[in-house]
Amino acid sequence: MPAEIEVFSGPNCQNCEAAKQLLTDNGLTFVDRSIADPDQLAELQHRLPRAMSIPQVFVDGEHIGNDDDLRIRYRDQRPPFAP
């Protein structure tokens, strides 16, 4: 069963675009939750009150981290890139 991936991102965010491109390049689907939407921003603040940057990535509800953390998981072939 494919992982549910959520990416909290913002407009004009190069790191956000890089994280989403990495997922796309690996054939993974994700939900893009733009913090430009006040409801999405409130959701991120609720789930991760101390978040100071974007993107923030969640896999199956577990906080993975930012785009650097996602790249490390890709390098190490850990979920969502491998079971």
DSSP state string for 6-69:
EEEE-TT-HHHHHHHHHHHHTT---EEEETTSHHHHHHHHHH-TT--SS-EEEETTEEEESHHH
Using pLDDT thresholds of 50, 70 and 90, give the confidence band for residue 1. low
Domains along the chain?
9-75 (3.40.30.10)
Q: Give me the mean pLDDT over the 54-81 stretch.
A: 96
Between residues 24 and 2, the one the model is more confident about: 24
Q: What pLDDT, in 10s, does the model give residues 26-64? A: 999 999 999 999 999 999 999 999 999 999 999 999 999
**Secondary structure (3-state) at 8:** strand
Tokens of 26: 């690996």
Q: Give me the mean pLDDT over the 61-72 stretch.
A: 96
